[in-house]
């Protein structure tokens, strides 16, 4: 990845996540299958390139319907009373007792300050990962509303629809503006403008609806965040 640009962060939303929450005991264990790589660290959330792994039993997978996407959020309460949420990829294991979740020991110590804690588990509503330039290049040319195969960013069997995004300075992509350059347009609503009074309009700067080739962008103008949603039962668009 070029040092001139920040990584493209992709925020993934799951519309079928629901509100089911289960209290669990989380144990930090030494397990090669739960390796905690630098690319997973909570302390590097803005450029985290892959989710850490958690082992769970079949009962929790069924209760939270984790078999569809396989991403679960654990919500921890720290010693100072703050709540910390960490998304995990789940792996089913017969060795994990009912009501427990096993994660990497170092990760749990970093997040919760102990190797055995109570937490709330739920199917992740959203999470984000950063992708390298070679992935961003393959996404270039797609537009808001297009659907692509989730395997491109490490989520096999999942299809993702582009909903929007924003650049490093906060200017949002707009579905009504072709291309990928920034333009000033007259807006009466989001994205890019939220009117205070009915009928109010303002001229605002927005980006076009197309994902640009990152090799042609600089840090100050680079697309920094892409928002996508998991689609169920829809036909895939071009990739």
Domain residue limits at 107: 18-124
User: Of 124, 139, 156, which one is at a domain's C-terminal end?
Assistant: 124
Share of the chain above pLDDT 70, in %: 92
CA nearest neighbour of 127 among 61, 70, 199: 70
pLDDT(236) > 60: no
Task: Give the C-alpha separation, 231 to 15, whole Å.
Answer: 8
What CATH number did the domain enclosing 104 receive?
Answer: 2.40.40.20
User: Of 77, 93, 124, which one is at a domain's C-terminal end?
Assistant: 124
Task: Give the strand pairing for 126-131 and 83-92.
Answer: unpaired
- 3 occurs within a structural domain: no
Prediction pTM value: 0.88
Q: Which residues contact 138 (CB under 8 A, 6 or more apart)?
A: 152
Confidence of residue 239 (pLDDT cuts 50, 70, 90): very low
Pair (172, 215) in one structural domain: yes
> Which stretch of 42-51, 74-83, 122-131, 188-197 has the lowest confidence by average pLDDT?
188-197
The β-bridge partners of 161 are 147, 229
The β-bridge partners of 91 are 55
Contact predicate 5/212, CB 8 Å: no
Query: For residue range 49-59, what is the model confidence (pLDDT) as tens digits?
Result: 999 999 999 99
Pair (25, 60) in one structural domain: yes
CA nearest neighbour of 129 among 96, 160, 169, 101: 160
- 237 occurs within a structural domain: no
Query: Residue 193's pLDDT is what?
Result: 64
Average pLDDT of the chain, as a whole number: 88
pLDDT(178) > 60: yes
For range 61-90, the mean pLDDT: 92
Task: Give the C-alpha separation, 96 to 225, whole Å.
Answer: 36
Contact predicate 26/97, CB 8 Å: no
User: Of 63, 91, 124, which one is at a domain's C-terminal end?
Assistant: 124
The β-bridge partners of 118 are 25
Pair (40, 98) in one structural domain: yes
Query: For residue range 113-132, what is the model confidence (pLDDT) as tens digits?
Result: 889 999 999 999 999 999 98
| 205 class by beta-carbon count within 10 Å (0-12 exposed, 13-18 middle, 19+ buried) | middle
Domain count, the chain: 2
Pair (133, 120) in one structural domain: no
Pair (109, 39) in one structural domain: yes
Pair (106, 164) in one structural domain: no
Query: Residue 70's pLDDT is what?
Result: 95
Task: Give the C-alpha separation, 94 to 169, whole Å.
Answer: 47
């Amino acid at each position: 990845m070029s040092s001139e640009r920040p990584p493209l962060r992709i925020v993934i939303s799951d519309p079928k996540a629901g509100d089911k929450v289960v209290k669990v005991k989380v144990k930090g264990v030494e397990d090669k299958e739960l390796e905690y790589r630098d690319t997973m660290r909570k302390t590097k959330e803005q450029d985290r390139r892959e989710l850490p792994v958690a082992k769970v039993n079949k009962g929790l997978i069924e209760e939270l319907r984790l078999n569809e996407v396989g991403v679960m959020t654990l919500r921890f309460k720290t010693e100072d009373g703050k709540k910390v949420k960490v998304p995990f990829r789940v792996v089913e294991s017969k060795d994990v007792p009912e009501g427990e979740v096993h994660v990497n020991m170092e990760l749990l110590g970093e997040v919760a300050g102990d190797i055995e804690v109570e937490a709330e588990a739920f199917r992740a509503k959203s999470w984000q990962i950063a992708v390298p330039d070679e992935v961003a290049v393959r996404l270039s040319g797609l537009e808001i509303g297009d659907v692509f195969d989730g395997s491109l960013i490490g989520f096999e069997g999942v299809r993702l629809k582009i909903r929007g995004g924003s650049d490093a300075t906060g200017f949002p992509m707009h579905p009504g503006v072709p291309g990928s350059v920034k333009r000033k347009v007259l807006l009466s609503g989001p994205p890019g403008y939220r009117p205070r009074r009915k009928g109010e309009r303002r001229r605002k700067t927005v980006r076009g609806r197309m994902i640009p080739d990152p090799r042609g962008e600089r840090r100050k103008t680079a697309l920094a965040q892409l928002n996508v949603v998991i689609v169920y039962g829809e036909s895939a668009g071009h990739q």
